[in-house]
Structure 1
Amino acid sequence: MKIEADALKLAGVRHGFFTRQGGVSEGLYGSLNIGLGSDDDRDNVLENRSRVSGALGVSETRLVSPYQIHSPDVITVSAPFEDDADRKADALVTATPGLAIGVSTADCGPVLFADPEARVIGAAHSGWKGAISGVLQNTVTAMEALGAARVNITAVLGPTISQRAYEVGPEFRDRFIEDAQDNARFFVPSGRADHFMFDLPGFIGTRLEQLDLRQVADLGVCTYADEDRFFSYRRTTHRREPDYGRQISAILLS
Structure 2
Amino acid sequence: MTLEILTSDLLSPVRHGFFTRRGGASSGIFAGLNCGHGSSDQTEAVALNRKRVADAMEVKTDALIGVHQVHSPIVVTVEEPMTGEKPRADAVVTATPGLALTILTADCQPVLFADPDANVIGAAHAGWRGALDGVLEATLVAMESLGAHRENTIAVIGPTISQSAYEVGPEFLDDFMASAPENSRFFANGQGDRLQFDLPAFGLHKLREAGVGHAGWTRHCTYSDPDRFYSYRRATHAKEADYGRLISAIRL
TM-score (norm. length: structure 2):
0.97
Q: Secondary structure at the match of 1:107?
A: coil
Shift of 1:82: 2.0
Measure, in 2, the Cα distance between the counterparts of 1:180 and 1:115.
Answer: 29
- Map 1:44-193 → 2, pairs under 5 A: 44-84=45-85, 86-191=86-191, 193=192
Q: Please list every run of 5 or more consecutive structure 1 residues that lacks an aligned counterpart in the other structure.
A: none
Contact 2:65 2:101 in 1 (8 A): yes
Measure, in 2, the Cα distance between the counterparts of 1:120 and 1:171.
Answer: 38
Identify the residue that residue 9 of structure 1 maps to in structure 2. Answer: 12
Q: Secondary structure at the match of 1:210?
A: helix
Shift of 1:151: 1.4
> Aligned AA for 1:181?
P
After superposition, the C-alpha distances for 1:53-88 in whole angstroms (9 at most, x for unaligned) are: 10111111111111100000000001111214x511
Shift of 1:211: 1.4
Q: Secondary structure at the match of 1:9?
A: coil
Measure, in 1, the Cα distance between the counterparts of 2:106 and 2:5.
Answer: 15
After superposition, the C-alpha distances for 1:145-178 in whole angstroms (9 at most, x for unaligned) are: 0000011100000000000000000100111111
Measure, in 2, the Cα distance between the counterparts of 1:139 and 1:213.
Answer: 11
> Aligned AA for 2:24?
G
Measure, in 1, the Cα distance between the counterparts of 2:227 and 2:168.
Answer: 25
Count of residues paired in the alignment: 249
Contact 2:62 2:82 in 1 (8 A): no
Contact 2:63 2:82 in 1 (8 A): no
Q: Secondary structure at the match of 1:8?
A: coil
- Percent of aligned pairs sharing the same letter: 54
RMSD: 0.7
Q: Please list every run of 5 or more consecutive structure 2 residues that lacks an aligned counterpart in the other structure.
A: none
Shift of 1:29: 0.5
Contact 1:81 1:87 in 2 (8 A): no
State yes or no: 1:216 paired with 2:219: no
